[in-house]
Amino acid sequence: MKQCIKKITTFISLGLFAFSVQAKADDWPQKPITTVVPWAVGGLADQVNRAMAQFGADEFGQPIIPTNRLGAGGVVALTEYLRERPNTTKIIYGSEGNFSISPKTNKVAYKWEDFTPIMNIYTSSFVLVATPDSGIKSFEDLKNYGAEKKVLFGVNGLNGTEFLIISALLSEMGIDYEAVGFNGANEAMNATIAGDVVLAVTHASLAKEYVKANKLEALVVFDEKPLKTDVYDLPPVTEYGYDTWIVNRMMMLTRKGTDPTLVNSIRAHFLNILNNPEFIAIADNLGVNIDPVDGDALNEHVMTTIDKVERFWEMAKK
């Protein structure tokens, strides 16, 4: 008897579930959409998310409520997100590091396969900067400097993307190094400006004003294509024969199992927001490179990054 009841309830709930999927694809969202930024309040991703949320009511007929869930560089928020059901109105952001580097240092409960990527919001490349006191002005100068001295560099934590790409690069170049871990890319950059460390890896947008004011020397960009803007004219590391690069993406994710038509519809709505002239003006001022590639591209991005992290990890160990 008990089993029978159990079977019936499972059946009914399955039926209800199927029905709700059907209904949701048509008139999602039934309640306000919550977007979760797992990084600092006031940071670049948070700013972009809050700017996008402005247009939520016009686009979805429901407001977008921007929230932050901090902790361990995104691990807390992504773990908590596992509680969400498919077709949830909660949307989360993640970066490739959350799925490639975080699992290497600690046990994490989630994996990339638990999420369905909706789209990418922005892409950012890391640049290598040096303090002007060191006299390092180019990649060649760095080689010469490193041949004689141990290089002290500052990065955002000793388990982040920044640490991995620079230590892999320096190892490949045969340069002896020591890393100083800071709390955030900002702190690491400040230490370089003050001359406490010689090198730092930071976001191109973050370092821009300092490079312009000659407080920092930009040497190279961690990418496969050169970085050419009004301030930068940097060769990629690949030009020197190194493949130690990872680009950073702000990926919009939902829970695995969400209806594909719904994913497409959410993406279409957010694309409209990204193309809104008011939003474009804000994004320009923030200096972000809006790059709305789709979920397939993100799948590939994360997979190649996981491979790279595996390789760079071994290189950095030396």
Partner 1 sequence: MDNLFIEGFIAFFTVSSFVYLNLGLLLGLVFGSIPGLTVMLCLVLFMPFTYTMDAIASFMFLLGIYCSGSYGGSISAILIKTPGTPHAAATMLDGYPLARSGKPKKALLTALYASGFGGIFSALVLLFAAPLVAKIALNFGPPEYFILCVFGLLIISGVSSGNLLKGIIAGCLGLLLSTVGMDSISGVFRFTFDDFNLYGGLNLVIVLIGLFAISETISNASKYSKTVKYASIKTDDNKDDVLPLKEFFSSYLTLLRSSVIGTVIGCIPGTGASMASFLSYDTARRNSKNKAAFGKGSEEGIAAAESANNAVTGATLIPLLTLGIPGDAAVAILLGTLMINGLTPGPNLFQEHGVEVYAVMIGLIVINIFMLIQGRLLMPFFAKITKVDFSLLTPLIVIFCFAGTFSINNTMYDIFVAIIFGVVAYVLIKLDFSPIPILLGLVLGNLTEMNLRRTVTMAQGDWFFVLSRPASLALIAIFVSLLVWFAYSRLRQRSLASKTEEQIA
Partner 2 sequence: MKMTSNILGGLLFVGISLFILLVIPDQVQASSQVGINAQSFPRWIATLMLVCSVFLLVNEVRLQRKNGSINISAFNVDFKKEIRAVLFIVLIVAYALATPFIGFLFASMAFSALALLFFNITNIKFYIFLMVCCVVVHYVFKFLLLVQLP
* Residues at the site binding partner 1, with contacts judged by CB under 8 A: 40-43, 46-47, 50-51, 53-54, 67-73, 75-76, 79-80, 105-107, 109, 150, 152, 157-160, 178-183, 186-187, 190-191, 193-194, 196-197, 208-210, 212-213, 215, 282, 285-287
Report angle CA 170, 199, 160 to the nearest 5 degrees. Answer: 70
Exactly one of 20, 54, 62, 67 binds partner 2 (CB under 8 A); that residue is 67
Between CA 88 and CA 24 the distance in angstroms is 9
Indicate the SS3 state at residue 55: coil
# chain residues binding partner 2, by CB under 8 A: 6
Angle at CA of residue 316, ends 211 and 147, nearest 5°:
65
Closest to partner 1 by CB, 263 or 309: 309
Q: Are 223 and 245 in contact (CB under 8 A)?
A: yes
Looking at the chain, which runs of residues are DSSP E strands?
33-37, 64-68, 90-94, 115-124, 126-130, 151-156, 177-182, 199-203, 217-222, 227-228, 233-234, 248-255
Stretch that binds partner 2, among 18-26, 61-69, 199-207, 234-242 (CB under 8 A): 61-69
Q: Identify which range of 60-68, 211-219, 220-228, 274-282 contacts partner 2 by CB under 8 A.
A: 60-68
Q: From the list partner 2, partner 1, none, pick the one residue 97 interacts with, judged by a Cβ distance below 5 to 8 Å according to partner type.
A: none
- Determine contact, residues 220/236, Cβ cutoff 8 Å: yes
User: In the bound complex, what is the minimum distance in angstroms from residue 206's beta carbon to partner 1?
Assistant: 9
Residue 297, both tokens? 């591209």
54: partner contacted, choices partner 2, partner 1, none (Cβ within 5-8 A by kind): partner 1
Residue among 151 and 263 whose Cβ is closer to partner 1? 151
CA dist., res. 208 & res. 188, Å (int): 15
Assess 205 for contact with partner 2 (CB under 8 A): no
CB of 8 to partner 1, least distance (A): 32
Q: Which of residues 154-173 bind partner 2 (CB under 8 A)?
A: 158
